[in-house]
Amino acid sequence: MKPSRPILAALFTFVAATQLPAQRHTYVIVHGAWGGGWDWRVVDSLLSAQGHQVYRVTLTGLGERAHLANANIGLTTHICDVVNTISWEQLKDVVVVGHSYGGMVITGVADRIPERIRALIYLDAFLPESGESAMKLVGADGASFFAQNTRDGLIHPPWVTPDRPIPKDVPHPLKTFTDTLVLTNPAARQVRASYILTVDKGASTDGFSPYAARARARGWPVHQMEADHTPERSAPRELVQLLLRLP
């Protein structure tokens, strides 16, 4: 039986809506402090549904690796977590996304293996220069907050409590904030990069605005989206739409 015109029209609409993108990317996502790869499940699903490959790295001592938490985990450990994922999975031409503290990590990753990276995307993230630490970037107020909430080398902010159900934020190793990032590879400066600044509704700036300004000063594209600091939770679809425009 010959299909009717309405059926054919509906079929063509479905096929068009589910077409895979002409170019597929490999995304390596680096979460922020206290978080984990678990926080990016929805973003992963949305990207994967469009044919992209996604790796959600959970940094040592966090997320499902919280059992490894200790005071000796430093920034280099977390940089190695991501470098080793890319190297051992034999990934190339990757889009590396760093959220918040993750900006410290992906900057170090780019310094180690720039040849493997297609683009860097800083999402409401630290954008450090060589010789800076996250502790330096958060300033005196941030340092005071960490000092008041650190026990046994781990930062326990007020919202991180043991009674919350899994998955959840967990204490974060202090040393990752106090370690100084040293950059030595000039080739890392040639890696394409962009910055996404998230701002609350009705606002034009937030605490990460200075790093968006750094990105502009480097000539990077800077995009602003209306969301809180964790758009992977509050606005995943809007975030994915923006991510897909950048690589």
Rounded to an integer, the average pLDDT of 182-201 is: 97
Neighbouring residues of 147: CB distance < 8 A, sequence distance ≥ 6: none
What is the pLDDT averaged over residues 177-205? 94
Identify whether 81 is part of a domain. Answer: yes
Angle between helical axes of 102-112 and 75-88 (0-180°, round to 10): 60
Catalytic residue, from 100, 144, 194, 204: name it: 100
Across the range 96-124, mean pLDDT stands at: 98
> Is there a domain that residue 163 lies in?
yes
**Per-residue pLDDT tens digits for 24-47:** 999 999 999 999 999 999 999 999
pLDDT value at 10 more than 50:
no
Tell me the pLDDT band of 19, cut-offs 50, 70 and 90.
low
Q: Is the pLDDT of residue 231 over 50?
A: yes
Radius of gyration from C-alpha coordinates of the chain = 19
Nearest to 114 by CA among 96, 137, 130: 96
* Average pLDDT value for residue range 111-136: 98
Domain coverage including residue 56: 23-245
Q: How confident is the model at residue 203 (pLDDT cuts 50, 70, 90)?
A: confident
Residue 247's pLDDT band (cuts 50, 70, 90): confident
DSSP β-ladder status, 172-173 and 154-155: antiparallel
pTM: 0.91
Residue 88 lies in a domain: yes
pLDDT at 205: 78
236 within some domain: yes
Structural domain includes residue 4: no
Instruction: Confirm whether 1 is domain-assigned.
Output: no
Mean of pLDDT values over 48-74: 98
Is residue 110 within 8 Å of residue 120, measured between CB atoms? yes
Q: Is the pLDDT reported for residue 76 higher than 60?
A: yes
Whether the predicted pLDDT of 22 surpasses 80? no
Segment 107-120 mean pLDDT: 98
pLDDT at 206: 87
Supply the CATH number for residue 149's domain.
Answer: 3.40.50.1820
Is the pLDDT reported for residue 4 higher than 60?
Answer: no
- Pairwise CA distance, residues 215 & 161, whole Å: 35
How confident is the model at residue 5, as a pLDDT? 53
Q: How confident is the model at residue 15 (pLDDT cuts 50, 70, 90)?
A: very low
| Domain count across the chain | 1
Give the rounded percent of residues in the chain with a pLDDT score beyond 70: 91
Is 204 known to be catalytic?
A: no
Within-domain flag for 16: no
Q: Look at residues 183, 221, 224 and name the one whose alpha carbon lies nearest to residue 204.
A: 224
Top pLDDT among 22 and 123 is at 123
| Mean pLDDT computed over every residue of the chain | 92
